[in-house]
Structure 1
Amino acid sequence: MRAIKSQFFLSFTVMGSVLPYLSVFLEQRGLTMSQIGWVLSLTGVAVVVTPVITAALADTRMQGRTLLGLMFAGSGLTLAWLTQVDGYWTILIVHGLFALAFAPVTSLQDGLYFQRGAELEARGQPVQDYHIVRVFGTFGFIVPSLLLYFILRHESVDTTASVWCGAVCCGVGVLNAVLLPKIERAESEDQDTPSRKRQGLPTAAALRALCEPHVLVFCVAMFLIHLAITAYYGFYPVYLTQTVGIEAQWVGLIANLGVVIEIGFMLGFGWFMRHWGIRKLMVVGGLCMIVRYLLLGFFPNVGVAVGTQVFHGIMVLVVHVAPPIYLNRRADKAFRNSIQGLYAMVVFGTGRIAGNLIAGWIADVSLTAVFLYAMVLTLIATALFAFAFADGATHAKHGGGDGGGSAKPQAA
């Protein structure tokens, strides 16, 4: 699991380099709020296109580590290219290419973890819980923001430095991908045997799993949450610099306050799962997100903007940690990658497309209204989790520990 932890770390160093500064970078390149919304929405378009394809390849034809290496290489090249271009249409195209390359990374890493965990369990070896591995991503997100704080203090340096930082981290990710484990497949999984043809594509099986009643409720609620969270992620940095009046060099450090809090929640995820379960976690987390958006929308000042980072930890559990674990519970070994990729396409991708476009239009009128819009969406999603969702029995055995009591957290 060491190389998988490193890959999580490196993928989040890319995110930690680019995401906190991207909307500010685009604003400094002369884009309007609605244009920024269009550029950011391409991330959602990419999630609709590439993760489901790469996940199907990882389940049937190619090694996940090979696909990850290719995605990191493409991401690094396009980020380097993005630093050299100007103009709305050129930026739109180049950022779109980066989004296409980087979009499958999260679902491929999740799938690789669950596949590797299933292999270790089959051999009777201990498996570290998902949240213990995923927390290395949290550490990875923190590192570049600390570095960029000191770099961006110099007046001669702008947020282009954050994009270059992301490109360099992608290069290191290519090197680490070589060290990732090779997943062994049974003969019937590697060949077009009659039994495999009768089973159909793993994507079709994953779709059937997502259409189960309570899973469908989960996906609808998460779609609404992604509409809201996309608005937050996309325009919170501009809200800090324009509405609250904080200088750009502080944006990453403010984001890191929430990420530091996230570490505690990540390490405590097993406790939440054992004592609360998925449903209660999603309801409590949704309520915390509603409070966060309400405060940002009605009280735009430095204290609120910084203080609401206290809600970031549980928000990450709801948006980024609980879903892959819940989906893996519903997955058979034949489509562990595909269910993650299909969810990324249907829920995360479409949510980001619509979320960024709508938030961009709202931000042209009022940045504070963006957070009130996010609050309403999260309120509806939380009601769905509270009154229409039940965390039913698992579809199949877990692939690896998930922190919910299915496997003991041990060193791998």
Structure 2
Amino acid sequence: MHPTVSGSGRLMLGFQYFLHFSVMGIVLPYFNLYCFHIGLTGFEIGAVSALRSAALVLFSLVWSILADRYSARKPIYILCIFISTGIWSLYLFTVDFWMILAITLIYGIFYSPVISFLEAFTMDALGVEKTRYGSIRVWGSVSFIAVVILIGKIIDLYRIDVILVLVLLGASLQSMASFKIPEVKRSRKHQAFLFPITLFRKEVIVFLGCAFLMLASHGAYYGFFSIHLESLGYTKTFIGFTWALASLSEIGVMIRSRTLFKNYSLHTVLVFSFMMAALRWGCLIFFRSAFTILLSQCLHSITYGAFHMSSILYMDALTPDDAKTVGQAANNAVTYGLGLMTGFFMAGALYEPIGAKGLFAISGIIALLAGAIFQTMGKRIKVFPP
């Protein structure tokens, strides 16, 4: 079955990515920095980040099984976006660590399935043209770039807690737009029972294991890169620009996604992404000047752009039609959930004793290990099912 939706439907999917990553353009670079400024320790920041990822691991799978089992992906998507938006507003009323931790847990429960459901919507909408995924996903990168630069300037002019209100505004817009998201209708089947069959095949375990290591290596970056740059004396505007440049670099890869995957196998792209991640984290050990830091950020085009697209396509190829939501949720849960949770915990526990340079050294080793495993064991993975 190769379902597709109209051009206007694909445009609405692009708009959802635009709004989603507008919010991410505030949360990823600046929320941990906000926590640092209100007095949370490195361990507490790592714990907050890890708990958010832990909720992603468990509850994205729960929501996805319900969505596939009852053919209710769109209603659950809308429900979770609206509830998570309301919960985010509670951050406005406290700076207490334990309250922030509790809010983060409840927020994570409902926010957890949003991106994996959006990926599943997009895979369905593209049908036989799945290699054009980047042309829709690129709108998320465009918004991320604009937002991180703009927010950096705003924070330099005003207080950093302004980010809480701005996230609430962006999430509210995404909530209202969610009603227009297209969904390909599927016949109701007992898809939930495909969960163990889909996830416990050898090729899936190898892929998810390596993807887990890849995102674990990103924990130091997502958790402490902004704090590291501030410690080097850089302004919030420059910090925002570094994040923007990273996203700018991935746009070219996403726009040319069809050409990329026409010329290179998913396995080749994934192995190369692992190796470039090891190089990127190694560079951050030694780079201190603005030019070299910005240069290293260009590797984001591979370590995120190429890796993310190939991962989505890889997991889509490994899952049957009736378990697509579960497949993407599992991919998202193991990588951005469990992988980042592990990375955040590691970074939070080790930041004060070994510093950012030590964290990036460990990250480089982890990424290198993932590449070595996938190079030797990933060759036997069937990218496209017979």
TM-score by length of 1: 0.86
- 2:144 is matched with 141
After superposition, the C-alpha distances for 1:11-39 in whole angstroms (9 at most, x for unaligned) are 11110121110111000010111111001
Shift of 1:304: 2.9
- 1:78 is matched with 87
What is the aligned counterpart of 1:338 among 306, 326, 334?
326
What is the aligned counterpart of 2:251 among 257, 263, 279?
263
- C-alpha separation between the residues in 2 aligned to 1:289 and 1:175? 37
1:159 maps onto 2:182 in alignment: no
Fraction of identical pairs, as percent: 22
- C-alpha separation between the residues in 2 aligned to 1:127 and 1:279? 17
1:386 maps onto 2:382 in alignment: no
Q: Which secondary structure state, in structure 2, belongs to the residue aligned with residue 83 of structure 1?
A: helix
Letter in 1 for 2:156: R
Letter in 2 for 1:220: G
Q: Is the 8 A contact 2:21 2:144 kept in 1?
A: yes
- 2:98 is matched with 89
Sort the Cα spacing of 1:206 and 1:339 in 2 relative to 1 into closer, same or farther, 3 A.
farther
Q: Which secondary structure state, in structure 1, belongs to the residue aligned with residue 166 of structure 2?
A: helix
Q: Which secondary structure state, in structure 2, belongs to the residue aligned with residue 184 of structure 1?
A: coil
Letter in 2 for 1:137: G
Alignment of 1:281-296 (within 5 A): 281-296=269-284
TM-score by length of 2: 0.91
Of 62-71 and 11-20, more deviation after overlay is shown by 62-71
Shift of 1:105: 1.0
Shift of 1:60: 2.5
Alignment of 1:48-67 (within 5 A): 48-67=57-76
Q: Which secondary structure state, in structure 1, belongs to the residue aligned with residue 180 of structure 2?
A: coil
Sort the Cα spacing of 1:182 and 1:389 in 2 relative to 1 into closer, same or farther, 3 A.
closer
- 2:186 is matched with 185
What is the aligned counterpart of 1:352 among 340, 347, 354?
340
Aligned residues: 375
Sort the Cα spacing of 1:166 and 1:274 in 2 relative to 1 into closer, same or farther, 3 A.
same
Alignment of 1:124-135 (within 5 A): 129-135=132-138
Letter in 2 for 1:360: G
Sort the Cα spacing of 1:249 and 1:21 in 2 relative to 1 into closer, same or farther, 3 A.
same
- C-alpha separation between the residues in 2 aligned to 1:301 and 1:357? 28
Letter in 1 for 2:25: G
Shift of 1:127: 7.2
Letter in 1 for 2:59: T
- C-alpha separation between the residues in 1 aligned to 2:194 and 2:331? 13
Letter in 1 for 2:20: S
Letter in 2 for 1:165: L
What is the aligned counterpart of 1:327 among 315, 325, 338?
315
Q: Is the 8 A contact 2:156 2:235 kept in 1?
A: no
1:150 maps onto 2:143 in alignment: no
- C-alpha separation between the residues in 2 aligned to 1:109 and 1:139? 17
Q: Is the 8 A contact 1:10 1:170 kept in 2?
A: yes
What is the aligned counterpart of 1:371 among 340, 360, 363?
360
Q: Is the 8 A contact 2:146 2:244 kept in 1?
A: no
Shift of 1:376: 0.5
Letter in 2 for 1:312: H
1:29 maps onto 2:29 in alignment: no
Unaligned runs of 5+ in 2: 1-9
Sort the Cα spacing of 1:95 and 1:325 in 2 relative to 1 into closer, same or farther, 3 A.
same
Sort the Cα spacing of 1:93 and 1:276 in 2 relative to 1 into closer, same or farther, 3 A.
same
Unaligned runs of 5+ in 1: 190-195, 397-412
- 2:7 is matched with none
- 1:39 is matched with 48
Sort the Cα spacing of 1:234 and 1:288 in 2 relative to 1 into closer, same or farther, 3 A.
same
Shift of 1:101: 2.4
1:107 maps onto 2:116 in alignment: yes
- 1:68 is matched with 77
Q: Is the 8 A contact 2:220 2:356 kept in 1?
A: no
Q: Which secondary structure state, in structure 2, belongs to the residue aligned with residue 58 of structure 1?
A: helix
- 1:6 is matched with 15
Q: Which secondary structure state, in structure 2, belongs to the residue aligned with residue 136 of structure 1?
A: helix
Sort the Cα spacing of 1:343 and 1:207 in 2 relative to 1 into closer, same or farther, 3 A.
farther
Alignment of 1:218-297 (within 5 A): 218-242=207-231, 244-297=232-285
- C-alpha separation between the residues in 1 aligned to 2:284 and 2:136? 32
- C-alpha separation between the residues in 2 aligned to 1:299 and 1:253? 16
Shift of 1:143: 2.6
Shift of 1:109: 0.3
Q: Which secondary structure state, in structure 2, belongs to the residue aligned with residue 245 of structure 1?
A: coil
- C-alpha separation between the residues in 2 aligned to 1:303 and 1:116? 40
- C-alpha separation between the residues in 2 aligned to 1:389 and 1:104? 27
Q: Which secondary structure state, in structure 2, belongs to the residue aligned with residue 326 of structure 1?
A: helix
